[in-house]
Amino acid sequence: MRVGRPRLRSGLEREFWLRVRWCESWQAAGAAVGVSEGSAWRWAVNRGGVKPRLSEPRVRLSYRERCRIEDLGDAGWTQAAIARDLGRSPSTISRELARHRRCRDGRYRADHAQSQADEDARRPKRAKLVSNLRLRRAVRDRLRNNHSPEQISRRLREDFPDDPEMWVSHETIYQSLYVQSRGGLKRELVKHLRTGRRLRKPHRVADERRGRIPDMVNISERPPTVEDRAVPGHWESQ
């Protein structure tokens, strides 16, 4: 049997605990996120009243942090100790050292690491649904269940509140389906969209047409008095 801390199950539960951390009572926090007092009570009881650790989405290391990693590494600090000092996870420090140590001597230098990181950031990236197999499968399965891209995007954020790699916008899903160069999802999944169209059409506000004049009256609908031009204002400009 798996033992460990229960994961936050939704974005609402995450927001609930954020409010509790801001010194709100669990009753007030539950009301603020729009859940019943019973649901808020269950969230509190399931965790024994202990506030969960709420990790933030991963942010790139700064040059100052890289300089600190270099100094502490030269001083003999362990990766775990460096992580604690920077307020980062040990896996972040481990990845940083593995990626950016110099080949010739195996040492970590902040200037070299920053230069490599900047170059990586400029390099064209593969589409998210192409490079992330786990995310692609999650989107594909939901499309097959006839969920809309908007529903999928919203639900993924609720199901994976602490994992930005599992977030994707609905526009990215549409692009993957309709734009072949963006790839990732097979065209056959288009039939699971509610419209089933092979090409996506942009939404347009009702009665919005190019060149349309507001309150325009067609010539065929003009009153008879216009024809004899007896009423001032019916004369058209010459």
Q: Could you read off the pLDDT of 68-117 as tens digits, one per residue?
A: 999 999 999 999 999 888 888 888 898 899 889 988 888 999 999 999 98
70 closest CA partner among 116, 120, 107, 118: 107
In this prediction, residue 216 carries a pLDDT of 55
In this prediction, residue 179 carries a pLDDT of 57
**Mean pLDDT for all residues in the chain:** 72
pTM, whole model, 2 decimals?
Answer: 0.38
102 closest CA partner among 60, 125, 79, 70: 70
108 closest CA partner among 82, 139, 87, 127: 82
Q: Could you read off the pLDDT of 11-49 as tens digits, one per residue?
A: 667 777 777 766 667 788 788 777 888 888 887 777 666
Residue length of the chain:
238
Sign of torsion over alpha carbons 41, 42, 46, 47: negative
In this prediction, residue 1 carries a pLDDT of 40
Report whether 86 contacts 68 (CB < 8 A). yes
Give the CA count within 13 Å in the CB-facing half-sphere of 81: 9
